[in-house]
Amino acid sequence: MKTKFCGVALLALMLCGTGALSYAQGPGGFGGHGGDEHMAALLNLTSAQKQQIKTLRQAQRATVKPLFQQLEQLHVQMLNATANGAFNQTTIQSIATQEAQIMAQLAVQRESLKAQIYDQVLTSQQKATAETLRQNEITQINERLQNQSQPGTETPAE
């Protein structure tokens, strides 16, 4: 039951957050579109709201697409830097730092899209539902962290 509830809470974030990323990657990309449909059902989005969200995502696509391309290039650099078991800490640290900077930019873009959807698209009731799902996810994360910090407690695999 907890796993199912965590899944629902995670899907809430997917609608608000990873939509831009999935559109930037195309069908089946990061987050995929299946979660979006499930979240749309949970929030009871209208066709007009779905279209508004699609428009917001498309507007953000131009910003996030180059970031994903940079990540792909860095991934190739990392693979080349570690070919045949090679390890140069300075080179790997440099690539990892660049990846982290891009991930930070993507996180900002994701949160920007979430805010736009929340402010421009959702009704008061949908905002309340989204907030409940967000709070539930925070609770679940805190419970996992608490369980992990207790000596001798192992986290069950999901």
**43 domain residue, yes or no:** yes
Residues 6+ away with beta carbon under 8 Å from 141: none
**158 domain residue, yes or no:** no
Per-residue model confidence (pLDDT) at position 42: 87
Per-residue model confidence (pLDDT) at position 24: 37
102-139: pLDDT as tens digits: 999 999 999 999 999 999 999 999 999 999 999 999 99
Per-residue model confidence (pLDDT) at position 6: 42
Mean pLDDT throughout 43-54? Answer: 95
**10 domain residue, yes or no:** yes
pTM to 2 decimal places: 0.71
Longest distance between any two alpha carbons in the chain, whole Å: 56
**157 domain residue, yes or no:** no
Measured N-to-C along each axis, helices 124-149 and 2-13 cross at an angle, to the nearest 10 degrees, of 130
Q: What are phi and psi of 45, to 5 degrees?
A: -70, 140
What whole-number percentage of the chain has pLDDT above 90?
Answer: 66
Report whether pLDDT(57) > 90. Answer: yes
**How many domains does the structure of the chain reveal?**
1
Per-residue model confidence (pLDDT) at position 154: 61
**156 domain residue, yes or no:** no
- Which residue type, as a one-letter code, is found at position 141? I
Residue range(s) defining the domain that contains residue 120: 2-149
Report whether pLDDT(15) > 60. Answer: no
**131 domain residue, yes or no:** yes
